[in-house]
Chain A
Amino acid sequence: MALKIVKGSIDRMFDKNLQDLVRGIRNHKEDEAKYISTCIDEIKQELKQDNIAVKANAVCKLTYLQMLGYDVSWAAFNIVEVMSSSKFTYKRIGYLAASQCFHESTDVIMLTTNQIRKDLSSPNQYDTGVALTGLSCFVTPDLARDLANDIMTLMSHTKPYIRKKAVLIMYKVFLKYPESLRPAFPRLKEKLEDPDPGVQSAAVNVICELARRNPKNYLSLAPLFFKLMTSSTNNWVLIKIIKLFGALTPLEPRLGKKLIEPLTNLIHSTSAMSLLYECVNTVIAVLISLSSGMPNHSASIQLCVQKLRILIEDSDQNLKYLGLLAMSKILKTHPKSVQSHKDLILQCLDDKDESIRLRALDLLYGMVSKKNLMEIVKKLMLHVDKAEGTTYRDELLTKIIDICSQSNYQYITNFEWYISILVELTRLEGTRHGHLIASQMLDVAIRVKAIRGFAVAQMATLLDNAHLLTGNTQRNGICEVLYAAAWICGEFSEHLEDPMQTLEAMLRPKVATLPGHIQAVYVQNAAKLFATVLQKHEGESDSQVAQETSQLLIDRLPLFVQSANLEVQERASCILQLVKYIQKLQQKNVEVAEEVTALFAGELNPVAPKAQKKVPIPQGLDLDAWINEPPSESESEDEKPKAVFAKEEPKHSRTKHTEVDEKELARRREVRKQEQANNPFYIKASPSSQKVYDAPGVEHIPVVQIDLSVPLKVPGMPMSDQYVKLEEERRQKAKAERKKKEKKKKREKRGKERKADSGPESEEDIAPAHQVDIVTEEMPENALPSDDDDKDPNDPHKALDIDLDKPLADNEKLPVRTHRPEVLKSPADDRDSESFPLETKKKSSKEKKEKKDKDRKKSKEEKKKKKKQKEVEEEPLESQLEEAVQSEEIQEVASPPTSTSAEDVTAPPSVTTVSASSAAAPDSEPEEPKETEPEDTVSLQKLSKHKKKKQKKEKEEKEKKKKKRHHHHHHHSDGGGEDSVQNGTVEEEEEEPLPPMSNYSLLAENTYIKMVYDIQGNHQDESKVVVSVIFENKSDSFLKSMEFNVLDSLNSKLQRPEGAGPHDGLTVPFQLPPGVSNEARFVFSVQSIVMPQKLKGTLTFIVKSEDSSTHEKLDFRLHFTCTSYLITTPCYSDAYAKLLESGNLKGSSLRLEGINMPFHHLLARICFHHHFSVVERIDSCASMYSRSIQGHHVCLLVKTADQTVSIDAKCDEPSLLGNVLDEIKQTFSKC
């Protein structure tokens, strides 16, 4: 042995350490990869050695290689080995490596649970610290569940160093195991007032992080935070709190009012820029939430804007950046205050820092008015010309379009100018935003009727010069513009001066190089143009032109018929045939123009982008129901919109057209609609137009830069600049004219839905150049106003949306007693266990009703109630004890949140009470029998009164729902959810509720202390069970130095730490102040599990009162039942059947007489007390399964008839089975 150690350390001398590795890598720059691979081989050798120091060294090197991008997950097991070393040096290396490369799917993580638990309770605070740090990086849902209670205990550790780490890691635990939030929250809240500033800061940190995601649940903490804010001097804490308030204010405007003053004070007093900035930010948030009807806060706004101006003017780019960022928030609600700083912001546009320019651009959005739009855009266009990087240029482009198109083109007075801006933008090389320009062109052309003539002319020029846009490559983003151009020219072809020329331009061979979807639009619109040409020329004596046009199409279309793109091909061949037919008719001198034009007749209306989503589902329509089941009357209505939306298969859409017009017309329309259903911009104008088409998937077109060396100067294209001048002149003229008819206050009528302008610079004076008729977007009738469609369903924080003001329920305790409680519940099992809390609740609500009825006979009623409580309480004696663990917390939470100080700041009472009322009852009541003071009854009366009020209120609320909706929205939904769950269970089984149950049984008790315990098997270790003991201090004194000792038997032994003798006791890792209880766990190793066992033990402790301390002891007997070796394991019915068929199991049976309880109670009891799970249940017969820690299968078949229950059981270990059955019998004999 000694030789081995010596040999190990000699080996080590020649091992590379981390420094050697780094040095080696630096010396092998040419063949780094090769060198590293030899190093990895060496590391693999080192990991095979027994010497932990060698292993740790190897793991340390692996951590370095991981940073360089090497996957080291293969060494995960070795990392665990190093983690479990007893030396801090190695442990730290192990945890570091684990935190760098473990993640949820690392399977060895399962093995670490016990090690981590050991480290967490290590006497060395740095072992604990290292474990916490490591765990914070790789905590999994399993680890979180298993360790939640240990970590929670650490939150009250004596060392602040551990406390703050434990507090911080709780956030990670909550994320992975949301059930832990409610039980842990009271203690977390306590930590907000920890004497150590670091711990306090950590608690603030965690709560802020929680509240940021689900602010409404944390409103009740507002007074506490308010206190902290006014008292704390730690800037980190202040920043976090102030940020948190920023998230809370939108939910509670009254909070905002309170905040303004202290925040303003801070803004004036602080010298820390970071704090100042966050204060300004929160003030802005407050002002936003107060924006309506708060006239007195203009001073605050001024203050903010003024401070921000100082930031922006600062030479520090960071401050400048943040100043602009915050300014843009003010802009949304108080544009006028920001607009006065336009000079400063325009100045920032010229900043050398691109980030700052971008932020300034954001601000410009709100700076524009009718008066200065052209000027600002002109400036931006200059920047576009100057910009080097495409990213910034593209950003400029989108900003220009955003600015111009905002609020329905509110600020545009001259659309000719806008169109020419758009046309100018098409000159940008290699932009990604061709489709954006295109959609703007389409939008303007469709919605602004007056501009169509001009737009068409511009587009025709664009089409004529298409070669300049497309350049050499066909895959150029900007060619999207041609899509719009072609469509506009086709659709509004009546405005074209020379349709023939445009038609010719659209059918050039070069078009065939464009992307397919653009070609398709070309072909389709060529047909429209053709129709226009025909109509124009048909009346004339010489039909030469018309025939030439037909010929042109017939000549050119075959090119498209050969296209590889299906869409193009289909359209082209269809139209080609049509034209051929028309040509025949023409040759016979038949007038066809009218009929051809009718193909494309119809008017367009725009539809709002979210219109479809906002259509409410008609009452009684269940979208999930089978389509065939309901009678076919509803079909015509429901199916029509459906078919329209199936845009993938437009052919379906018109099969059921119900309009009964002229037959011929209807048929043609159908054809036309069918053809155009693929065009996103064709929107049917029928009154029931609840249709939306998504924009075509142009984003998928890869963007390749082209090197277009020749600047694009399209002949005859107007420059937008000239419009600026023209506009100026026009305004001058208008002004002069207006002066003439001064007194006539006839404002020009603008588009019907345009809002009254709130722009600053007397905008009303500027009349638009055109009589613009902006068609607003259509919305379906009775559209819903909700806008909640942007939430991410995968957000892990959703699970943390938990009401924290509700008192804890029995089932919410952190899983301490079970080592690995029900990993996979079978559905039946699940249902049973869920029904417990609900049913207690039901009972309490029943009570409530009774109380209400017998309200006046108070004294009588109370007696009754007490009786009732006793009835409820008698059985689950232990459940109280369970609760006692958290009794402190419960009391704290149970007191209605409205009673906290500074009522003004809390949520409106009705908000909290709605949720509290339903839940307050079940938990506060079980506690009452404990205290028998007269006070008790008083509080009860209060409680019942309270409830009545609440109930009334609820009723009222229902009536006034609409009025109050705003405030109570979310809480209502909470309550509603609960109701529905209850209903659900009631519907499922209309059976009596199940009383609460607990597995904790009394271990021993004297005047000082009470111990209850539960025993659970351990999944991973077939020879270990965990005994959880809850110690409750019943005295008024402090209990300390508790030692737990057990006299081992041959079969069962208490696991003692290394080095301890076989008779040494274990120190209980906590002390108990008066009235407090806490839980400790002890691991026992067992050899045989087929027989129950009893172990004698003693607890010794010191009772310390103010003046004296005495040594006390308490004897107890630990009873290891066979049940405690069983672990709830789900089993699926097919596996179960196989197991029974295998024939390896031996049978036994049991009859229980006079069982007077519902069957589901019976099953629930067996599941709960004896760790079974229900495999299948049919009527009054159920099969159940469980497994022992040593892998014995135990199967039960439970039947019931007339108060008799028969249990047929099978197991591969008959004596184990016999004992389990005996214990089951005992359980039921007790009741």
Chain B
Amino acid sequence: MIKAILIFNNHGKPRLIRFYQYFAEDMQQQIIRETFHLVSKRDDNVCNFLEGEVFHPIFSLIGGSDYKLIYRHYATLYFVFCVDSSESELGILDLIQVFVETLDKCFENVCELDLIFHMDKVHYILQEVVMGGMVLETNMNEIVAQVELQNRMEKSEGGLSAAPARAVSAVKNMNLPEIPRNINIGDINIKVPSLSPF
């Protein structure tokens, strides 16, 4: 089982949190902080697993030494999965890769800004990958297909921000001194050498 999925940036700002077990909001924030604290001080060339006992602040928060953190660091973002012993470590690493590649496909060269402004969309994509803490689908094409079908459906309904609102939003944007979309904070490099041919 996957207990939690956290995405935060190099400064520990959460970009997506998904807990599969209930924690109160302050607890969630504490877990994010502790996880960031642990993960951020690790070099990029050390292993991607963090396990029980030794690092207890976080593990006592999450609930036991059966859990481990499996994470990947892409450019400005950390993708952290908290899983128990029923998950294969390398499998989860692959799953993160699949997830990020899916994001890349859905957002066309995904970068942190996409995640910042479209948290909901990221959630919808994640929902097609993991459900209730269990791996739902690992085939990227299948995931992308389902996401797109749902997006199409949303469009046919007019979407959340229908045309007039969008026009207004464009006007609103023009008034802003800077349009954050133009800030280039670097793309997420997803071309990480794949560990385990799957």
Q: Quick one: given A9-B164, A17-B169, are A355 and B50 in contact (CB under 8 Å)? A: yes
List, in ascending order, chain A residues with CB within 8 A of B48's CB.
317-318
Of A13, A63, A206, A271, the residue contacting B119 (CB under 8 A) is A63
A236 touches B138 (CB 8 A): yes
Q: Is A747's beta carbon under 8 Å from chain B?
A: no
Q: Quick one: given A63-B119, A66-B25, are A26 and B180 in contact (CB under 8 Å)? A: yes
Assembly CA distance A23 to B119 (angstroms): 13
B195 touches A278 (CB 8 A): no
B137 touches A198 (CB 8 A): yes
B54 touches A395 (CB 8 A): yes
Of A20, A57, A278, the residue contacting B172 (CB under 8 A) is A20
Chain A interface SS verdict (over half): helix
A18 touches B88 (CB 8 A): no
B91 touches A212 (CB 8 A): no
Q: Is B186's beta carbon under 8 Å from chain A?
A: no
List, in ascending order, chain A residues with CB within 8 A of B132's CB.
133, 136-137, 168-169, 171-172
Of B51, B161, B176, the residue contacting A17 (CB under 8 A) is B161
Of B22, B88, B150, B159, the residue contacting A277 (CB under 8 A) is B88
Of A17, A66, A321, A358, the residue contacting B54 (CB under 8 A) is A358
Instruction: Return the chain B residue nearest A103 by Cβ.
Output: B22
Of B16, B142, B160, the residue contacting A53 (CB under 8 A) is B160
A136 touches B131 (CB 8 A): yes
A278 touches B86 (CB 8 A): no
B124 touches A92 (CB 8 A): yes
Q: Is B135's beta carbon under 8 Å from chain A?
A: yes
Of A23, A169, A212, A243, the residue contacting B180 (CB under 8 A) is A23
Assembly CA distance A477 to B176 (angstroms): 57
B46 touches A352 (CB 8 A): yes
Of B24, B29, B91, B142, the residue contacting A274 (CB under 8 A) is B91
Assembly CA distance A13 to B28 (angstroms): 34
Instruction: Return the chain B residue nearest A133 by Cβ.
Output: B127
List, in ascending order, chain A residues with CB within 8 A of B127's CB.
96, 133
B134 touches A236 (CB 8 A): no
B160 touches A104 (CB 8 A): no
Of A67, A88, A90, A322, the residue contacting B89 (CB under 8 A) is A322
Within 8 A of A (CB), among B17-53: 17-18, 20, 22, 24-26, 28-29, 43, 45-51
A161 touches B160 (CB 8 A): no
List, in ascending order, chain A residues with CB within 8 A of B176's CB.
23, 27
Q: How far is the CB of A204 from chain B (nearest CB, A)?
A: 10
Of B46, B118, B136, the residue contacting A354 (CB under 8 A) is B46
List, in ascending order, chain B residues with CB within 8 A of A198's CB.
136-137, 139, 142
Assembly CA distance A90 to B154 (angstroms): 9
Q: Is A114's beta carbon under 8 Å from chain B?
A: no
Q: Is B108's beta carbon under 8 Å from chain A?
A: no
List, in ascending order, chain B residues with CB within 8 A of A208's CB.
86
B49 touches A171 (CB 8 A): no
Q: Quick one: given A22-B116, A96-B120, are A318 and B22 in contact (CB under 8 Å)? A: no
A161 touches B131 (CB 8 A): no
Q: How far is the CB of B122 from chain A (nearest CB, A)?
A: 11
A318 touches B49 (CB 8 A): yes
Instruction: Return the chain B residue nearest A23 by Cβ.
Output: B180
Q: Is B174's beta carbon under 8 Å from chain A?
A: no
A322 touches B46 (CB 8 A): no
Q: Is A122's beta carbon under 8 Å from chain B?
A: no
Q: Is A89's beta carbon under 8 Å from chain B?
A: yes
A274 touches B164 (CB 8 A): no
List, in ascending order, chain B residues with CB within 8 A of A64's CB.
119-120
Q: How far is the CB of B21 from chain A (nearest CB, A)?
A: 9
Assembly CA distance A766 to B58 (angstroms): 45
Of A89, A96, A132, A243, the residue contacting B159 (CB under 8 A) is A89
B198 touches A22 (CB 8 A): no
Contact with B along A53-84 (1 / 0, CB 8 A): 10011001001101111110000000000000
Q: How far is the CB of A644 from chain B (nearest CB, A)?
A: 34
Q: How many contacts between A and B, using CB within 8 angstroms?
A: 189
Q: Is A191's beta carbon under 8 Å from chain B?
A: no
Among A9, A22, A274, find the residue whose CB has the most chain B CB atoms closer than 10 A: A274
A137 touches B159 (CB 8 A): no
B165 touches A12 (CB 8 A): yes
List, in ascending order, chain B residues with CB within 8 A of A272's CB.
196-198
A165 touches B136 (CB 8 A): yes
Q: Is A356's beta carbon under 8 Å from chain B?
A: yes
Instruction: Return the chain B residue nearest A392 by Cβ.
Output: B54
Q: How far is the CB of A303 from chain B (nearest CB, A)?
A: 19
Q: Quick one: given A198-B137, A353-B47, are A17 and B165 in contact (CB under 8 Å)? A: yes
Q: How far is the CB of A793 from chain B (nearest CB, A)?
A: 15
List, in ascending order, chain A residues with CB within 8 A of B196's CB.
272-274
Assembly CA distance A317 to B93 (angstroms): 13
Q: How far is the CB of A268 from chain B (nearest CB, A)?
A: 16
Q: How far is the CB of B86 from chain A (nearest CB, A)?
A: 5
Q: Is A235's beta carbon under 8 Å from chain B?
A: yes
Q: How far is the CB of A278 from chain B (nearest CB, A)?
A: 6
Chain A residues touching B, range: 35 or more
Q: Quick one: given A169-B131, A355-B51, A395-B54, are A274 and B169 in contact (CB under 8 Å)? A: no
A161 touches B90 (CB 8 A): no
Assembly CA distance A271 to B158 (angstroms): 47
Q: How far is the CB of A694 from chain B (nearest CB, A)?
A: 21
Among A12, A67, A205, A354, find the residue whose CB has the most chain B CB atoms closer than 10 A: A67
Q: Quick one: given A171-B134, A239-B91, A395-B54, are A93 and B46 in contact (CB under 8 Å)? A: no
Of B47, B131, B160, B165, the residue contacting A320 (CB under 8 A) is B47
Contact with A along B81-124 (1 / 0, CB 8 A): 00000101111011000000000000000000000111110011
B136 touches A355 (CB 8 A): no
Q: Is A126's beta carbon under 8 Å from chain B?
A: yes
Q: Is A145's beta carbon under 8 Å from chain B?
A: no
B119 touches A18 (CB 8 A): yes
Q: Is A673's beta carbon under 8 Å from chain B?
A: no
B146 touches A161 (CB 8 A): yes
Q: Is A14's beta carbon under 8 Å from chain B?
A: yes
Instruction: Return the chain B residue nearest A17 by Cβ.
Output: B161
List, in ascending order, chain B residues with CB within 8 A of A271's CB.
197
A274 touches B94 (CB 8 A): yes
Within 8 A of B (CB), among A688-719: none
Q: Is A28's beta carbon under 8 Å from chain B?
A: no
Assembly CA distance A212 to B93 (angstroms): 22
Assembly CA distance A71 to B54 (angstroms): 31
Within 8 A of A (CB), among B138-168: 138-139, 142, 146, 149-150, 153-154, 157-162, 164-165, 168
List, in ascending order, chain B residues with CB within 8 A of A243's CB.
86, 88
B47 touches A13 (CB 8 A): no
Within 8 A of B (CB), among A107-161: 126, 132-133, 136-137, 161
Instruction: Return the chain B residue nearest A10 by Cβ.
Output: B164
A19 touches B117 (CB 8 A): yes
Q: Is B12's beta carbon under 8 Å from chain A?
A: no
List, in ascending order, chain A residues with CB within 8 A of B46's CB.
317, 352-356
Assembly CA distance A53 to B154 (angstroms): 13
Assembly CA distance A654 to B86 (angstroms): 52
Instruction: Return the chain A residue nearest B193 by Cβ.
Output: A316
User: Interface on B for A, CB 8 Å cutoff?
Assistant: 1, 14, 16-18, 20, 22, 24-26, 28-29, 43, 45-51, 54-55, 86, 88-91, 93-94, 116-120, 123-124, 127, 131-139, 142, 146, 149-150, 153-154, 157-162, 164-165, 168-169, 172, 176, 180, 195-198
Return the 8 tightest CB-CB contacts between A and B, nearest first: A136-B132, A274-B90, A103-B22, A317-B47, A273-B196, A353-B46, A69-B29, A321-B47
Q: A23-B180, A53-B162 are in contact. List 6 more A-B contacts (CB 8 A).
A: A88-B154, A198-B139, A208-B86, A277-B89, A354-B46, A395-B54
29 interchain pairs, CB-CB under 8 A: A22-B116, A22-B119, A23-B117, A53-B162, A63-B119, A63-B120, A63-B123, A67-B16, A69-B25, A71-B24, A89-B154, A92-B154, A93-B160, A96-B127, A137-B132, A165-B131, A168-B132, A172-B132, A198-B136, A205-B134, A206-B134, A236-B138, A318-B48, A318-B49, A353-B47, A355-B46, A355-B49, A355-B50, A391-B54
